[in-house]
Amino acid sequence: MAKSIIDLKALTIELAHAALVRGDFTAAELAQAYLDEIAEKNKDINAYLEVFDDVLEQATKAQSLVKPENMLAGIPIAIKDNILIKGRRVGSASKILEGYVAPYDATAIKKLRDAGVVFLGRVNMDEFAMGGSTENSAYGVTRNPHDVSRVAGGSSGGSAAAVSMNGALAALGSDTGGSVRQPASYCGVVGFKPTYGSISRHGLMAMGSSLDVIGTITKTVRDSRILFDAMKGKDSFDSTSIDIPAVNSQKKPIIGVPRSFLTGDGIDPAVIKSFDESLKRLAGLGYEIKDIELPNIKYSLAVYYVIMPAEVSTNLSRFDGVKFGAKVEGKDLLEDYLLTRASGFGREARRRIMLGTYVLSSGYYDAYYNKANSVRELIKNDFVKAFELVDVIVTPTAPSPAFRVGEKVSDPVAMYLEDIFTVPANLVGIPALSVPAGSVEIDGKNLPIGVQFSAKQGAEDLLLGVTEVFLGEIK
């Protein structure tokens, strides 16, 4: 079947599933359509690091699983380069893991494989998920499909760009401080970070172990729900994993807005305008809008950039060229370590490892790391109190639309400020979702802007329901 017969731009998981069940096209024909699109567009976007050579074989096998009740059978998705697929190369976009092959499936991957998902390939990211632009990849920047002079966001920039350019029906990413939601905002797609522990981290390369969550990038909230339902659940391989109980609420959810958090410098006027329009839309849909206070949320970014590098320093200590990955020979074992880590890790990874080692060092542990954890608890308590008054909290996803490639590379603090609205959800462990909320024209290009919704731990169903209504997916 020719690519033009399948309208990839309009396709969703729901629509593709219905078409596969009807026999409008086969799983192999659908996969081929995506392969054609990738071949045409990836050279300009650099979303994919590798397209798997057995995609059509996977699709042919998945065809036998296509049934009305199997929503994901034959659905082609892209996988971030830090999630293990047995027998496939995986490297977190870092030279230190050049050539490494995964010895087992991540739990999330196993569940999707059992459901009949077709894995198209592995997509680009900031090295070890450290960054907000995918400029820190050892394999080149991923560009925004809406304007190739701009970044796709990060660290899951390849995942967001793949879906946005119609090079995948959906994608998996990981979210440590906004790494699914921010690129989704930049690329005009839906980015979903569920409750911490709701999806097993087994087989996800660790960055910040108390923060990391596997998330999804899709075209609709309904598709996010389908993928989440397939992957969620407690896992014996991950002691932090949990089951999410079903919570039914009959009342109309109340929307909370932390107004004082939206008045800082550096927020683009177009973002504020889009956010205000989103609030009007919510009010028009019958939701009560209530102003709330989150007194300690202003410290979130500072707390995050102490706790996260500390966990990075610990997690990345295993990459020494001895157990796996690339190795540089020195005159002795110590020099092997030093040369391997110096050449294998990129600039941002080295910066965060050194910062994390510093805050954990003798004499500074209490002053920085322990204090950051104490403030993290204050932030958590603020959210607990807020969710006694409201059901969903709404903020912008990012303080600006996508910025130009290279614009913030020399200013790490400016780059870190892009995370200001997204990191609180990771510190608190709550689910959060970015959905498209308009666009702004800059230099003749329409750049997407996202709005972020969050809810209390385990309230995925409520969160997804509100955003489905907001986007008009359900009435």
Comparing C-alpha atoms, which of 390, 384, 467 is closest to residue 427? 384
Q: Output DSSP code: residue 324.
A: S
- What pLDDT shows up at residue 474? 82
| Residue 363, CA distances (Å) to 310, 366, 367, 370, 371 in order | 15, 7, 8, 12, 13
Asked if 86 contacts 102 with a C-beta cutoff of 8 angstroms, the reply is: yes
Measured on CA atoms in the order 58, 59, 65, 68, is the torsion positive or negative? positive
Q: Please state the domain extents for the chain.
A: 1-296+395-475
pLDDT tens-place string over residues 323-373: 777 788 888 888 888 888 888 898 999 999 999 999 999 888 888 999 999
- What pLDDT shows up at residue 220? 98
Q: Average pLDDT for residues 399-406, to the nearest whole number?
A: 96
- What pLDDT shows up at residue 435? 98
CATH classification code of 1-296+395-475? 3.90.1300.10
* Residue 102 vs residue 416, higher pLDDT: 102
Instruction: Give phi and psi for 167, each to the nearest 5.
Output: -100, 5
Q: Of the listed 155, 164, 300, 454, which one is catalytic?
A: 155
- What pLDDT shows up at residue 295? 96
- What pLDDT shows up at residue 248? 67
Known active-site residue 179: yes
The answer, yes or no, to whether residue 4 has pLDDT greater than 70, is no
Neighbouring residues of 66: CB distance < 8 A, sequence distance ≥ 6: 20, 21, 27, 73, 74, 116
Instruction: Give phi and psi for 290, each to the nearest 5.
Output: -130, 130
Average pLDDT of the chain?
A: 95
- What pLDDT shows up at residue 2? 40
Calculate the dihedral angle through the C-alpha atoms of 255, 154, 297, 249, rounding to the nearest 10 degrees: 30
The answer, yes or no, to whether residue 3 has pLDDT greater than 50, is no
Q: Average pLDDT for residues 137-141, to the nearest whole number?
A: 97
Residue 412 pLDDT level (bands cut at 50, 70, 90) = confident
pLDDT tens-place string over residues 38-57: 999 999 999 999 999 999 99
Known active-site residue 385: no
Known active-site residue 174: no
2: exposed, middle or buried (C-beta count within 10 Å: 0-12, 13-18, 19+)? exposed
Between 107-111, 228-232, 351-355, the lowest mean confidence (pLDDT) is in: 351-355
Residue 1 pLDDT level (bands cut at 50, 70, 90) = very low
Residue 302 pLDDT level (bands cut at 50, 70, 90) = very high
Q: Average pLDDT for residues 62-86, to the nearest whole number?
A: 98
pLDDT tens-place string over residues 257-293: 999 999 877 899 999 999 999 999 999 999 999 999 9
* CA contacts within 13 A on the Cβ side of 231: 32
Q: Average pLDDT for residues 7-20, to the nearest whole number?
A: 97
- What pLDDT shows up at residue 264? 74
Q: Of the listed 133, 164, 179, 241, which one is catalytic?
A: 179
H helices present in 188-268, as ranges: 221-231
Q: Average pLDDT for residues 87-101, to the nearest whole number?
A: 95
* Residue 392 vs residue 363, higher pLDDT: 392
The answer, yes or no, to whether residue 316 has pLDDT greater than 90, is yes
Q: Of the listed 41, 80, 111, 232, which one is catalytic?
A: 80
